[in-house]
């Protein structure tokens, strides 16, 4: 049996897990693969619901990854009616174009791809978003539901700084323990450890040794 559409999955989740808020996220790319955005409070029970669902049996989490979304600023042109004073002092109402800027605060996102080994179908894509990129970068861990997410959640913690609450062993996995940065974040700046290299003169060539800064 093929999987139902994301909207149908959403309806069934909301019926099966009371209080769960699920949003279907559109995808503008050619694959148009839509995903389900989960709320933090019910994410764990929604995950268990999907894993144990008799028809879907999404028993395999093939991939878990992090995404960094920086603070975004979108500008929109809006036509506004405004009172404009002309040069001779008379006032008249005119339609004026105005640029309105909306700021979307950045957040970190965790994406899970679910398949069913038993029913041989998938994927169902789950997303969770943190409230911000600072202290609020916390998400519930889905490792207790799918064990295969353990190392990948550790990797997302290591490289993006997402703290997974309920993870059994949340330590850095690639970088060393004393490391404090999150290198896969878009605003990460690697340490400057380049040095000027003096290129010596070739025998027989004129001029002084040139200094090359890489």
Residue 175 touches another protein, criterion: CB under 8 A: yes
Pick the closer one to another protein by CB: 78 or 198.
Answer: 198
Q: Are 163 and 139 in contact (CB under 8 A)?
A: yes
Distance CA 152, CA 70 (A): 22
Least Cβ distance, residue 184 to another protein (angstroms): 9
Pick the closer one to another protein by CB: 117 or 175.
Answer: 175
**Residues in a beta bridge with 208:** none
Least Cβ distance, residue 122 to another protein (angstroms): 32
Pick the closer one to another protein by CB: 96 or 198.
Answer: 198
Least Cβ distance, residue 198 to another protein (angstroms): 4
- What separation in angstroms does the CA of 28 have from each of 18, 31, 123, 153? 30, 8, 18, 26
**The binder of another protein chosen from 23, 181, 186, 187 (CB under 8 A):** 181
**Residues in a beta bridge with 63:** 113
Binding mask 120-159 for another protein (x = CB under 8 A): ----------------------------------------
Site for another protein in 189-208 (CB under 8 A): 190-191, 193-195, 197-198, 200
Contacts for 46 with CB less than 8 Å, ≥ 6 apart: 13, 17, 20, 22, 38, 126
Q: Are 81 and 118 in contact (CB under 8 A)?
A: no
């Amino acid at each position: 049996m093929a999987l139902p559409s994301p909207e149908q999955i959403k309806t069934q989740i909301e019926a099966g897990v009371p209080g769960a808020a699920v949003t279907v996220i559109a995808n503008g790319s050619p694959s148009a693969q839509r995903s389900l955005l989960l709320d933090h409070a019910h994410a764990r029970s929604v995950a268990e619901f999907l894993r144990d669902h008799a028809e879907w049996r999404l028993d395999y989490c093939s991939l878990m990854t992090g995404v960094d979304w920086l603070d975004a600023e979108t500008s929109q042109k809006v036509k506004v009616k405004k009172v404009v004073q002309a040069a001779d002092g008379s006032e008249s109402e005119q339609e004026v174009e105005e640029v309105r800027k909306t700021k979307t605060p950045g957040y970190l996102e965790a994406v899970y791809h679910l398949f069913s080994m038993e029913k041989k179908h998938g994927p169902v894509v789950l997303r969770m978003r943190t409230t911000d990129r600072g202290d609020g970068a916390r998400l519930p861990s889905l490792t207790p539901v799918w064990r295969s997410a353990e190392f990948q959640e550790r990797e997302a913690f290591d490289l993006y700084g997402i703290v997974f609450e309920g993870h059994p062993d949340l330590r850095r996995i690639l970088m060393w323990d004393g490391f404090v940065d999150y290198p896969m974040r878009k605003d990460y700046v690697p340490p400057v450890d380049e040095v000027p290299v003096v290129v010596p003169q070739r025998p027989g060539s004129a001029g002084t040794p040139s200094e090359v800064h890489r």
